[in-house]
Structure 1
């Protein structure tokens, strides 16, 4: 079976407080985006294998979240050996949740292929053991994420028809680095309420709190954000803890795009 794990963007990200366990409580809208990897899982006669292609993925294959997802289910179910292949397209360290999506889609695919009859709730429980935002990709629909980003509240937000431009400046920012410089605080306004405003107002109200600490360190990020607005974006922001910047447009941005060839750029319609 072949699946296509997709990315997500964050519409606003409020860092509320540091938790006793060292993580942070946050509030953010997770919104699925059709920029995808490709994942294939087949039963195998011989021993289990996991192979990779596409963008180079650091670390040993057995440390990959896809393999960890397989091992997690294998502890509780009599899974047979498998052949698993991941073709990596979504950049890593980009704030797009690509690795988390790969893990969640591995769980969902194994559930389908081997008829494990796992409920959505049970799949989300397994996904939370692999990473804070993995569980989002089980249902893969817009939500308001709270706590560590692994608890979800329903959100009526439909951006269907909006044009999205993603710009990854070939700059990986680790989650640890991003969180090291933040100063969490309780927001004055509810993000859920702010997102009900007309999108033209988001420029001043819907903020990713990581921008405050990361923009001074990486001047290319505010530069890209400014370029997106110059191109006509109604709203532009950083996704997650960076470093992908994105713009939302009512019509497709005009070519040629003003970004260097070494950047990864994706555009499409939501």
Structure 2
């Protein structure tokens, strides 16, 4: 069986405080984005994992799909499976691609082997794998808080707009991104700010990572400026970067960006 894990973007992102466990509390809005990987799982004589498409750095034994398999294997007598992941969602982009793969893998295993897990059960499993993994179980716009793994529903529908994503050829590590942050509670929550007209977001909704990431990687700042120059109603870095998205009324011409960056249109 094959599923197609999709990405997400962050609309607004505030790091509110450092936690005693070394993580950070935050607030943001997660919104599904239709860049997709392809994930196939077939019952097999032995557990194995292979990937194609965008090269995945590191040892494949650390892939979140395999970690999800071992996690549910503790509680269920599931057989070995062969996993094939075709990677299309950019890596190191702030799009949650690896988290999506893990969540969709768990949903697929639940369906294939009749594990009878409900959505809350699956969310509790994948929370153990990463802060934003649980979002992809329901895969609907949410206001996320705490570590980014607790959610409240929000009414947000961007289907009438064109979303464009630009991925530069740079990689921003999570450690580097958080290293430049000074946590502070926002004066107004992102949950309230997204209720404003989208053309107001430019002046009110911010991503705390942008200031120091833009200083370290000016190309990311230039991409955001190019999106606004092309007519974006709102543009922002997603998560801790390095991707930048723009929301448009009309499909823009971004050919000037295509020589040095990946550009994904009409998402």
Same fold (TM over 0.5): yes
Between the aligned partners of 2:57 and 2:211, the Cα distance in structure 1 is 28
Between the aligned partners of 2:223 and 2:172, the Cα distance in structure 1 is 16
Between the aligned partners of 2:242 and 2:231, the Cα distance in structure 1 is 21
Q: How many residues align?
A: 267
Q: Is the counterpart of residue 207 in structure 1 residue 219 in structure 2?
A: no
Q: What pairs with 1:35-74 in structure 2 (closer than 5 Å)?
A: 35-44=35-44, 46-74=45-73
Look up the SS of the partner of 1:258 in the other structure. Answer: helix
Counterpart position of 1:267? 265
> After the TM superposition, which segments of 4 or more aligned residues of structure 1 sit over 3 Å from their partners?
none
Deviations 1:59-100 (A, max 9, x none): 121110011111111111001111110000111110000000
Q: Is the counterpart of residue 23 in structure 1 residue 19 in structure 2?
A: no
Between the aligned partners of 1:49 and 1:237, the Cα distance in structure 2 is 38
Q: What pairs with 1:189-268 in structure 2 (closer than 5 Å)?
A: 189-254=188-253, 257-268=255-266
Counterpart position of 1:163? 162
Look up the SS of the partner of 1:183 in the other structure. Answer: coil
Between the aligned partners of 1:252 and 1:71, the Cα distance in structure 2 is 44
Between the aligned partners of 2:246 and 2:260, the Cα distance in structure 1 is 19
Unaligned runs of 5+ residues in structure 2 are none
Between the aligned partners of 2:158 and 2:149, the Cα distance in structure 1 is 22
Unaligned runs of 5+ residues in structure 1 are none
Deviations 1:108-127 (A, max 9, x none): 00000001000100100001
The alignment's C-alpha RMSD in Å is: 0.9
Deviations 1:34-76 (A, max 9, x none): 10000000111x2111111111111121110011111111111
Deviation at 1:224, TM superposition (A): 0.4
Counterpart position of 1:88? 87
Look up the SS of the partner of 1:259 in the other structure. Answer: helix
Q: Is the counterpart of residue 127 in structure 1 residue 126 in structure 2?
A: yes
Deviation at 1:261, TM superposition (A): 2.9
Between the aligned partners of 2:59 and 2:14, the Cα distance in structure 1 is 34
Counterpart position of 1:183? 182
Deviations 1:147-177 (A, max 9, x none): 0000001111111121011000021111111
Look up the SS of the partner of 1:268 in the other structure. Answer: coil
Look up the SS of the partner of 1:10 in the other structure. Answer: strand
Deviation at 1:193, TM superposition (A): 1.0
Between the aligned partners of 2:17 and 2:193, the Cα distance in structure 1 is 20
Between the aligned partners of 1:173 and 1:190, the Cα distance in structure 2 is 26
Between the aligned partners of 1:129 and 1:233, the Cα distance in structure 2 is 37
TM-score normalized by the length of structure 2: 0.98
TM-score normalized by the length of structure 1: 0.97
Q: Is the counterpart of residue 8 in structure 1 residue 14 in structure 2?
A: no
Q: Is the counterpart of residue 78 in structure 1 residue 45 in structure 2?
A: no
